[in-house]
Structure 1
């Protein structure tokens, strides 16, 4: 009886080893999750911006950023991938100008002064031009000797009053930026 059991067990083991191997079952790979790059990954003045912070302060949703550095000037432009406008541009330039020089040479006529932003600051609304709507702009002299400007260009058909409200939101965004990190 033991011999039969041994013979049967050996036969089962031998035939199991001779069976044709089945090919592995192909499992489709999961689609990779889309990764939104941070604005800071574009370098330049974009290192100071974050899409989430922009949305929090302005309500605008952007997902594309591009930067240019030329000498002491660092610029970043952000847009939505599917649209040219609105567009937000940040420009930061090293400067030796003081608050008096800012008031005389930089402060645009008709601009409203802004408090608690750098050494001196302004906000203004610029009328529509060309194929773009009006623009909201905030400019300031940062405490570490940098001249900074945030400019939001609206799509055509945007009311000037809406751009003016946006200028107030840009002041809040400007206060959240740390130009020393450039």
Structure 2
């Protein structure tokens, strides 16, 4: 029995001595893990948008969302991680206006009428400015007392014809936005 204890003790001393002489091994850091986060996780009006639905309807994959609230207005901006434009913006504001007021005061000049969206709706394309390309806007008076605007801001250099083609897709997306869920 005493012989085994001596062998065990010597083994422990030898092993610890070897460990003290060994050089540390450099281990590379683990690769970052990409986690897909839903637009709704940003809160606010982003709860009304879904990256997969946007991609299905407008053929662009967004992966970054940011929400903001100012008084009765809730806003969400979605972009790609790689670029600031294009961007898609949804704004929803509580309102007490009626269809006549919406038409007289909020529908922009030269805007086209959209049917089958809320109580009344319009769409328009705004010319490019120095910082970005043309902007498509769809605005509507929702049935539950909310005013909503969905806009697409294109990158500088984008042709107006390309943005105009996107208008129907944006109207389709607007029809999927349930402003009651805000």
Shorter-chain-normalised TM-score: which range? 0.7 to 0.9
Alignment of 1:154-165 (within 5 A): 154-165=154-165
Which residue of 2 is the match for residue 151 of structure 1? 151
Which residue of 1 is the match for residue 175 of structure 2? 175
Give how far 1:69 is off: 0.6
- How high is the TM-score relative to the length of structure 2? 0.84
* Unmatched tracts of structure 2, length 5 or more: 20-26
Which residue of 2 is the match for residue 7 of structure 1? none
Q: Deviations over 1:8-59 (max 9, x none)?
A: xxx99xx89x9668x9xxx999756421111111111011011111101101
* Unmatched tracts of structure 1, length 5 or more: 1-10
Alignment of 1:79-90 (within 5 A): 79-90=79-90
Q: Distance in 2 between matches of 1:34 and 1:131?
A: 31
Alignment of 1:84-123 (within 5 A): 84-123=84-123
Alignment of 1:4-19 (within 5 A): none
Which residue of 2 is the match for residue 77 of structure 1? 77
Number of residue equivalences: 173
- Higher radius of gyration, 1 or 2: 1
Which residue of 2 is the match for residue 130 of structure 1? 130
- How high is the TM-score relative to the length of structure 1? 0.84
Q: Deviations over 1:110-151 (max 9, x none)?
A: 111011100000111110012100011100000101000001
Matched position secondary structure for 1:36: coil
Which residue of 2 is the match for residue 3 of structure 1? none
Q: Distance in 1 between matches of 2:51 and 2:180?
A: 19
CA-atom RMSD in angstroms: 2.3
Q: Deviations over 1:67-98 (max 9, x none)?
A: 11111000001111110100111000000011
Which residue of 2 is the match for residue 8 of structure 1? none
Which residue of 2 is the match for residue 54 of structure 1? 54
1:40 is the counterpart of 2:40: yes
8 Å CA contact retained: 1:123, 1:168:
no
Which residue of 2 is the match for residue 67 of structure 1? 67
